[in-house]
Amino acid sequence: MIKNTLLIAQFEVKKMLLNPRGLIALIAFSMVWLLILLYPISGASSFLVNPDFQAVIEGIFGTDAVSELFKWPVAELAVYWIAALYLFPLFCIFVSADQFATDRSRGTFRFLTLRVGRDSLFFGRFIGHMALQSLLLSLTVIATILLAASREPSLFLPALYSGLIVTLNLIIVLLPYTALMAILSLYASSARQATIYAILVWAAMSISIAIINNYLPIISELKWVLPGSQISMMINTQGLQSFIYTPIALIQAAVLLVLGKVYINRSAL
């Protein structure tokens, strides 16, 4: 099973990198992040190192709300951290929406399951999509490190250390998103439909949790069920402290993967 799972994951990465549609998506992704690096990140980082700007931000949001943001050793990575925490989950929803939807609509899902186990297929596709996203994420972090080093060469080693922490954190954040999209793509008949389902799921769960918390605050911890619920709190963290929310994403991903495993084995072809 492990060998088949890894082969499927490898095939998924190659398919997405070598496919013309995949290449177009990668080029578009690269252009978007190039613009983000050159303008918001490069520009905002110069403000973060300005004491006057720091005083203004602390006056607006409060010292406790942004205290860790100004402790980052590399300003570019601090701005990247905020942008990536929100942008990469959105990117994940779109890039992971077609893990199974097209195969089901074309009828090739049955063909695949005749040659490989459903568990291998499910986890192989999941690992493949995570590997691709990890690759793209790593490239954007490397670009940010180089941007910081071009401003101040002495920042290279601190940026390398912070970049590693940021990369690991963001990969963990994306795990439950990718797992949920795997389940939704099993149910949907197209990638677009899976994306719509994802939006509806997040909207419905957010509204439901807000209503429940309003009337039954005793079970306010229910908010941790929603993937990405910890992101707003991760913003005001830095260094190893940012791993404090790691268990939330790991537990969410584990539960969703188990549900996906059960669903794919019980679903009709």
Taking only the tens place, the pLDDT of each residue in 180-192 is 999 999 888 888 8
Q: Are 161 and 168 in contact (CB under 8 A)?
A: no
| Mean pLDDT of all residues in 77-85 | 90
What is the percentage of the chain residues whose pLDDT exceeds 70? 91
> In which band, very low, low, confident or very high, does the pLDDT at 17 lie, cut at 50, 70 and 90?
confident
Average pLDDT estimate for 70-90: 89
Confidence band for 79, pLDDT divided at 50, 70 and 90? confident
What pLDDT sits at residue 112?
80
Residue 122 in tokens: 């499910």
What pLDDT does 60 receive?
60
What confidence tier does 63 reach under pLDDT thresholds 50, 70, 90? low
The whole domain housing 107 covers 2-266
**Per mean pLDDT, which of 14-18, 136-140, 230-234 is the most reliable?**
136-140
What whole-number distance in Å separates Cα of residue 113 and Cα of residue 93?
A: 25
Give the per-residue pLDDT at 182.
93
What pLDDT digit, counting tens, does each position of 159-187 carry? 999 999 999 999 999 999 999 999 999 88
The model's pTM is: 0.91
CA atoms within 13 A on the CB side of 38: 6
State the sign of the Cα–Cα–Cα–Cα dihedral 100, 105, 110, 112: negative
Chain segment 23-59, per-residue pLDDT in tens: 787 888 888 888 888 888 877 767 776 777 677 666 6
Alpha helices in 74-190 (DSSP H): 75-95, 101-106, 108-115, 118-151, 156-187
The values of phi and psi at residue 227, to 5°, are -55, 135
Whether 87 shows a pLDDT value over 80: the answer reads: yes
As for how many domains the chain has, the answer is 1
Phi, psi angles (nearest 5°) of residue 107: 85, 10
Helices H, strands E: what count in the chain? 13, 0
Average pLDDT for the chain: 86
Confidence of residue 61 (pLDDT cuts 50, 70, 90): low
* Per-residue tokens: 75: 């300003």
Q: CA 69: distance to chain centroid?
A: 20
Q: How many CA atoms lie within 13 A of 82 on its CB side?
A: 17
